[in-house]
Amino acid sequence: MPSWFTNLYICKTHVLHILTFFKSPFDQKVDLLYINIFLRSNNLFLHIGWFRQKNYHQTYPLKPIKNMSSSSSSTNDDDYSYEDEHEQLQRDRTNPAYARARELALEKYFAWYDDNHLKYKVFNKPRTTNWKICPLKWKNMMDKFKGKGNALFDYVLFARRNYHGRNKQGMGHFRDVRSAILNLLEEARFGCYTTQGATNMRDFWTGLRKQNHDWVTETGIDDSAKVAFPFPVYEKIAKSMLKQGKIKEWAYLILQWNLMSRKCNIGDIHFNFVHWQGDMMTILFCHSKTQKGSRKNADKFHLSSNPQAPWICPITAVALLLMVTSHDGKTLFESADAAAAYTRAFDAALLDPCVIEAMRKAGVRSEDVASHSIRKSAATYAAGGTTAPPAVFSILLRGGWSIGDILSRYIKVAEDQDRFLAHILVGRNILDKTFTILPPHFVTSPSDEVLKTGFVGQWMESQFEELKGVLHLLTASAVSGIDLLRTETRVVTENVGGVISKTSKIFPLIPSTHPIFSNDLLHGATHRQLKNMLAKGDAQYNSSIMTCSGVPPWAYLKIQVDELVTEQKVMVKILKELKEAAQNGGK
């Protein structure tokens, strides 16, 4: 090791990175030199490398260096290693689901590269079993080879044959591989392609997409995978999950629909982000993919109630979720496996005969439906499920979609339109008076002791006072809807003696043995008392504590017209009776 390295005075917690070009003293050719000084296991190391035809590198341990501070006292922080925290921070840059997709893509790519690495030599295995990218070689390859000889393009063409042999396109996998390799370059601080490399990438991908379109058209492959489905199919899937007894997974589904979210983002909702405002629950929410998970992009979205259909009501879903499990006051879905469990329950629901029948009527195939269909279906229903949909900007904002800088810069979430959208997503009938119904609420408030019997977890002690108002309304929705969740009425076709008839029959919904029915608030004398404390009749529409928001003015006009029509029918009936009485001599 050169002696001049031994005289470096570097603070123990600092890392030095030098990248420079220099002329070799041996043959005067220009080499690329990089020097890294880093901390590992409380020891300093020097890593020196240079590029020419090969990547030469060597690591040397540095001698312990005294603290440069003039202070004679030392803090505990000097002896603390932040290595694990830095590694975790880098892992948290990317959503785990996206990171896993990249890992799977690279596994398939390197399985091919194992057999072809001698042709390309753009990855190596220095003292490890894993392939490591050689950034300069990769970028030189991207500049030089726009076709054969490019390790990415050759793999795509190889893998495409395998996908086409199974009547699949594979375009999603190809994009994952492309993204994963670019991520490797970014981690190696060589993130951007040159102009020529970027041009070659764009030209290849343009041709690939056009060829894929021609192949799909020629072979008749249905490329409408993960299609949107209509609202009745969503209802059947929700009921199917309840029939499975999967309360947590059912709540996951209901929130994904009403927030028009990706599956992965629902699991990130923190308990502290759930609040109540007026007649709706609110959740502070952010889309990790389009909005990069930035807190400045987090918005407060409203969730409405549906007392007539609690199986698709997000208020009831959150209430039962908090009642069925013990919470620590952190994320709503505490299990790290929540998204995977939801996917399994969703796939099981697609096998339910009721769901299959609903999809058949809607012209949707089960193989075209997945959990991501929920996001598409909710947005489609919000935009076209009624002839009077909310403003398109409110849909884009809730879904986290961008139409350029204008949307994020100038148009923000507006209360009234977002509340109107919440009513639509929850399935309220815009042409019926029930569109203006208030959420279930207590006329007489239950005691704190009663509320605490229904919710379990350490948060009940530390956060009860802060969340008491929300718990009152969550409890009211659960108490109001639990009886409708015990059973469902279905129309069945029967063949009796050759005569086919349709009859209504009652079937269980949530299994009667489910622990939710053991909750003190949802059965027995306490439940009956709480039901008697709920608002009933006209109090469901007019209350001194809240008013129904997000209702367009013409909806109120429709209600008034319906009332006038009803009164007119009564008046006509009375007039007919008077006319008949007069014709009968006043009898």
**Do residues 129 and 207 both lie within one domain?**
yes
Type of residue found at 64:
P
Does 13 reside within a domain? yes
Of 219, 243, 270, the last residue of a domain is 219
Which of 215-219, 457-461, 464-468, 469-473 ranks highest by mean pLDDT? 469-473
The first and second tokens of residue 10, run together, are 């570097």
Q: Identify the pLDDT of residue 402.
A: 75
**Do residues 235 and 200 both lie within one domain?**
no
CB burial of 173-212 (b: ≥16 within 10 Å; e: otherwise) equals bbebbbebbbbbbeeeebeebeeebeebbeebbeebeeeb
Q: Identify the pLDDT of residue 222.
A: 62
Q: Identify the pLDDT of residue 87.
A: 62
% of the chain residues with pLDDT over 70: 77
Higher pLDDT, residue 96 or 540? 540
**Do residues 363 and 508 both lie within one domain?**
yes
Give CA separation, 85 vs 88, 91, 330, in Å.
Answer: 5, 10, 21
Does 326 reside within a domain? yes
In the predicted model, is pLDDT for residue 245 greater than 80? yes
- Assess contact for 311 and 237: CB atoms under 8 A: no
List, for residues 145-194, the tens digit of each pLDDT value.
988 999 999 999 999 999 998 888 888 899 999 988 988 888 887 767 88
Does 225 reside within a domain? no
CA neighbours within 13 Å on the CB side: how many for 440?
A: 27
Q: What share of the chain is helix, strand, coil (3-state, %, to 5)?
A: 50, 15, 35
**Do residues 104 and 144 both lie within one domain?**
yes
Give CA separation, 126 vs 147, 221, 489, in Å.
Answer: 28, 44, 66
Strand, helix or coil at 507? strand
In the predicted model, is pLDDT for residue 469 greater than 80? yes
Q: Identify the pLDDT of residue 308.
A: 95
In the predicted model, is pLDDT for residue 339 greater than 60? yes
E runs forming strands in 380-476: none
Does 47 reside within a domain? yes
How far from the centroid of its chain's Cα atoms is residue 19's Cα? 40
**Do residues 256 and 173 both lie within one domain?**
no
**Do residues 476 and 578 both lie within one domain?**
no
In the predicted model, is pLDDT for residue 137 greater than 60? yes
CB burial of 17-33 (b: ≥16 within 10 Å; e: otherwise) equals eeeeeeeeeeeeeebee
In the predicted model, is pLDDT for residue 80 greater than 70? no
In the predicted model, is pLDDT for residue 3 greater than 70? no
**Do residues 265 and 183 both lie within one domain?**
no
**Do residues 186 and 237 both lie within one domain?**
no
**Do residues 390 and 446 both lie within one domain?**
yes
How far from the centroid of its chain's Cα atoms is residue 513's Cα? 31
Q: Identify the pLDDT of residue 66.
A: 42
CATH of residue 250: 1.10.443
In the chain, the largest separation of any two C-alpha atoms, in whole Å, equals 130
- Using alpha carbons, select from 478, 482, 543 the residue that is nearest to residue 509: 482
Report the sign of the C-alpha dihedral through residues 164, 170, 174, 175, in that order: positive
In the predicted model, is pLDDT for residue 69 greater than 60? no
CB atoms within 10 A of CB 156: 19
- Using alpha carbons, select from 558, 566, 537 the residue that is nearest to residue 429: 558
Q: Which residue has the tokens 């057999």?
A: 115
- Assess contact for 492 and 357: CB atoms under 8 A: no
Q: Identify the pLDDT of residue 478.
A: 96
**Do residues 585 and 511 both lie within one domain?**
no
Provide DSSP, 335-356. -TTHHHHHHHHHHHHTTSHHHH
Does 257 reside within a domain? yes
Give CA separation, 427 vs 300, 310, 435, 477, in Å.
Answer: 20, 10, 9, 16
Mean of all residue pLDDT scores within the chain: 81
**Do residues 133 and 210 both lie within one domain?**
yes
Does 472 reside within a domain? yes
- Assess contact for 251 and 477: CB atoms under 8 A: no
- Assess contact for 251 and 516: CB atoms under 8 A: no
> ∠ CA(230), CA(236), CA(238), 5° rounding?
105
Total domains in the chain come to 4
8-state DSSP, 451? H
CA neighbours within 13 Å on the CB side: how many for 328?
A: 5
Of 188, 219, 250, the last residue of a domain is 219
Does 547 reside within a domain? no
Q: Identify the pLDDT of residue 15.
A: 47
Does 390 reside within a domain? yes
Of 165, 196, 219, the last residue of a domain is 219
First vs last Cα of the chain: how many Å apart?
123
Q: For residue 454, give its domain range.
A: 231-540
Q: Identify the pLDDT of residue 199.
A: 92
How far from the centroid of its chain's Cα atoms is residue 558's Cα? 36
Q: Identify the pLDDT of residue 95.
A: 59
**Do residues 208 and 253 both lie within one domain?**
no
Burial group, residue 386, by CB count within 10 angstroms (0-12, 13-18, 19+): middle
Average pLDDT for residues 531-542, to the nearest whole number? 94
8-state DSSP, 289? T
